[in-house]
Amino acid sequence: MLGLVGLVFAVAVAFGATGCSNESTPATGSTPPPAPASVPGVSGPPAPRSVRPMDTVTLAFANREAIEVALRRTHGRIEGPRGAAAALGINPHTLRARMRKLGLDWARFREE
């Protein structure tokens, strides 16, 4: 299973917000390894949304995207082995708190 941190990282990579480059680093002189072709548990690029400029992608934006992807895949289910909380690797109560903070309603994902 892909934890929340992994999913947030995958979203950040998709939006180019990691701050990494493929240029040589001055400290080591080596080139960082290329990004993986695919991240386990994430199929294809994220759905197009109101994309923000690459330099302004925030952690809150990446968290929101990760939670929305998980809710979409689980059809709004939060708890249980096939719920969004399990997919994100977090407690269902934590997921609900983050959803409240971000203004996300699970029912919206039940209708899709």
User: What are 7-47's pLDDT values in tens digits?
Assistant: 666 666 665 554 444 444 455 555 655 555 545 555 555 55
Helices 92-102 and 59-73 pack at an angle, to 10 degrees, of: 120
Structural domain of 55: 4-110
Neighbours of 24 (CB within 10 A): 11
Say whether pTM exceeds 0.95: no
Amino acid at 60: A
User: What are 78-103's pLDDT values in tens digits?
Assistant: 999 999 999 999 999 999 999 999 99
**What is the domain count for the chain?**
1
30 touches 77 (CB < 8 A):
no
